[in-house]
Amino acid sequence: MTLLDPTTELGRRAVGTCPVGGTRNPGGARSVATCAGVRKDRRVRALRGRVVTVGAGVALGASLLMAGAGAAAAVPPPALREDVTDESGVLSAGEEAEVQAALDQLAAQTDYQLYVVYVPEFTGAAGGTEWAQAAAEASQLGADDVVLAVATETERYALVPESAGAITAEEMQAIARSAEDDLRAGDWAGAAVTTAEGVEAAATGNAVPGAGGGGGGFMTALLVGLVVIGGIFLLTTFTSRRRKQQPAGRPLQDTAGATRVASTADEFHQLPTAELDRRSAQALVRLDDALRSSEEELGFAQAQFGAASTREFETVLVDGKQRLTEAFRLRQTLDDDIPDTEEHVRGTSAAILRLCREIGQRLDEQKEAFDQLRAIEERVDDALDAHEREAATLRARVAPARAALSALAARYPASALTSVAGNPDQAELLLGEVGTALAEGRQRVAAGERSTAVGYARAAEEALGQVRRLLDAVDTAGEDLAAVGVRLENAVASITSDLSDAARLARGNAQVEPRAIEAREAVAAASAARSGQGDPLAALRRITAAEAAIDEALAPMRQQAERSRRAQALLDDTLGRLESAVRATADYVSTRRGAVGPQARTRLAEADRLRMRAADQRATDPEAALATAQQGEQLVAEAQRLAQVDVENAEQMAGYGGGYGPGGYGGRGYARRGGAGDMVSGVGGMVLGGILLDSILRGGGGFGGGGGWGGGGDGGGFDGGGFGDGGFDGGF
């Protein structure tokens, strides 16, 4: 399989480019009988009608997680000689044969022809759709020719044209969504086979899975790929439609014709370890976004219909959050300082992926019922009015929030306010975008486009929820910092007692003395913080850690009952502080989840798990509970730091107006690219919050849906989608 230039025979399939010896029909189509030289090696198919320039195209999910993508090999749009072009080398010989068989079947049963191209990266064009269009144009493809282009390293893809002959745009969307399921699962061959099967079904008048049914409800587009970080998760991220439609263990033919069984145990065996590790991290981010936004969506429904009507959804959500906690615990074993064997990395990553898939499937089962419950399209006018009123209420809170932060800044150092310092600005930015979305939604209602108006209403609702959370966090920060002063006083009194015990029981003891020195320094830092000369939260963390350390050193010299009593006293304060820190960091991640990557989320989830574990240990083993809670404090502090680094890097890479560019895990940032600018200019607030309007208008959203990992823009991404550039209604 090779890439050829536009001078190839296939590249001369347009009017006036028939090779020597061939003729062309008046309408521009070639006669197969007289232009046989341009036939493909493995099939003969007449080109119906005119030769066309490929149109807008379907591209799913604009830019995606881009985690550590690195410098992929650049491949410009080629002219296509072969049915299958694999510049990435992702297909085995057996898989290539499987794809070719599907393409041959399509050609035998229909007038359509599918070209499949795998390259590391789309270059030489503005995005995935443009790249695929350029390849189609370079090859002079016909009206019934379809191109599936996949960038394997940067995880984007496009399916063009937007419609093909008798195949409607809606059917092409459904075909693309089905192929995306396979791409997410790493089934490169499966994506091509699924596309061929979908084109054949549409061409022969059979139903295409996922086509039809409109886009009215909040849940309708779970399978379309919403990118809201307010975020509604794309459940099919974890579910390959092709695999769901066939029995597990279907035999596939390898190069020798022998049977290869795709069992659950070896479903990831072909993936390199680094890729498997990366995908597990991506899956956690997507599912974490899904559950966060589903929780918000559930809150909307509970406010509207009451707890009784939403109890089943709440049960599924609680179960999903518990299982996600376990998945994050597994991930933490890969992120800690203990070296991992390759076997451990592979086994743990596979377990995470399976957990995420199972949770996604549970959420997916609630799709239809939740959609029916909300029925947003029927009341979209009322929804837009309600959002307008809510926006006015929240807008009135921005100025007081700024004033509150100014007052706090006069009393506390900047380091104590990092998690909320930017909240008023982010809230104001979001409110501006809400106004734009509501205005556009009203225009769509007036034009009779109610289902499209639903997308704008949904984007506004998600953004308003984030604004509320941002402003609430400012209020809570003031309360938390006010409580720190009292806690510092108590901590100083408690550790002073420890220092007295150290002087009385262990003067000069080699184990106790260094810890006594740290305790005295911690007391000095606490005194400075109380007088406004330091960070009170940092001082409180330091003095608590110092007291725990000196308590441990003094433990052999104290009675067990006394140790338990002191541990219990420390535990109360530590748990309260940990709970506040987890809540503040969770708010920060939720309202900036368009930029926050898996490492911060993993630390946060593990800190929350340890918080709950410490609470469970409290009655039976306060000393162990204290150690657990202190470990949680360390993790939540690290989570906050990593999240801030991710957000700062994302902002530096792109700024608020133009979306987020490629990022990576950890220190390089974890950014996603936004891109609703074709519809609503300046959507930086929504992008940072993970609300990509173009994807919402494609129908994403609802309980469990969506994925804050993509966006409109340049080509499709298959780790969390949405319809990207070149889609319908003017090319989102």
238-262 average pLDDT score: 29
Specify the higher pLDDT residue, 14 or 323.
323
> Is 353 inside a domain boundary?
no
> Is 446 inside a domain boundary?
no
The reported pLDDT for the residue numbered 482 is 77
The reported pLDDT for the residue numbered 688 is 58
The reported pLDDT for the residue numbered 726 is 31
601, 706: one domain: no
pLDDT digits (tens, 9 = 90+) for 661-679: 333 323 333 334 333 333 3
Inter-residue contact 191 to 182 (CB < 8 Å): yes
> Is 218 inside a domain boundary?
yes
Helix (H) / strand (E) element for 351: namely helix 342-364
Q: Give the predicted TM-score (pTM) of the model.
A: 0.39
CA distance 486 to 501: 23
pLDDT digits (tens, 9 = 90+) for 677-711: 333 333 356 555 555 444 444 444 455 543 322 22
Q: Model confidence at 193, in pLDDT bands (50, 70, 90)? A: very high
The pair phi, psi for residue 59, each rounded to 5°, is: -135, 125
CA distance 547 to 570: 8
Helix (H) / strand (E) element for 84: namely strand 84-86
In the chain, the number of structural domains is 2
CA distance 348 to 301: 36
> Is 205 inside a domain boundary?
yes
587, 727: one domain: no
CA distance 488 to 539: 8
What separation, in Å, do the N-terminal and C-terminal C-alpha atoms of the chain show? Answer: 33
599, 728: one domain: no
| pLDDT above 70 (res 311) | yes
The reported pLDDT for the residue numbered 335 is 84
Lowest mean pLDDT among 413-427, 498-512, 701-715: 701-715
267, 165: one domain: yes
pLDDT digits (tens, 9 = 90+) for 233-243: 332 333 333 33
524-543 average pLDDT score: 82
CATH of the domain at 255: 3.10.310.50
Give the residue from 607, 630, 647 where a domain finishes. Answer: 647
156 in helix, strand or coil? strand
> Is 679 inside a domain boundary?
yes
46 in helix, strand or coil? coil
> Is 49 inside a domain boundary?
yes
254-283 average pLDDT score: 61
89, 216: one domain: yes
The residue segments making up the domain with residue 584 are 560-592+595-647
259-278 average pLDDT score: 63
How many other C-beta atoms can be found within 10 angstroms of the C-beta atom of residue 216?
A: 19
What single letter denotes the amino acid at residue 504?
A: R
Inter-residue contact 121 to 153 (CB < 8 Å): yes
> Is 70 inside a domain boundary?
yes
Residues with Cβ within 8 Å of 717's Cβ and at least 6 positions away in sequence, in order, are 60, 61, 62, 63, 64, 65, 155, 156, 157, 709, 710, 724
At 525, list the tokens: 């830092």
The pair phi, psi for residue 160, each rounded to 5°, is: -130, 155
| pLDDT above 50 (res 256) | no
- Residue 24 forms beta bridges with which residues? 30
Lowest mean pLDDT among 231-235, 329-333, 356-360: 231-235
> Is 68 inside a domain boundary?
yes
The reported pLDDT for the residue numbered 560 is 61
Q: Estimate to the nearest angstrom the gap between the alpha carbon of 152 and the chain centroid.
A: 18
The reported pLDDT for the residue numbered 667 is 34
572, 703: one domain: no
631, 719: one domain: no
The reported pLDDT for the residue numbered 566 is 77
66, 151: one domain: yes
Specify the higher pLDDT residue, 250 or 413.
413
640, 722: one domain: no
726, 642: one domain: no
551-565 average pLDDT score: 74
ω before 161 within 30° of 0 (cis)? yes
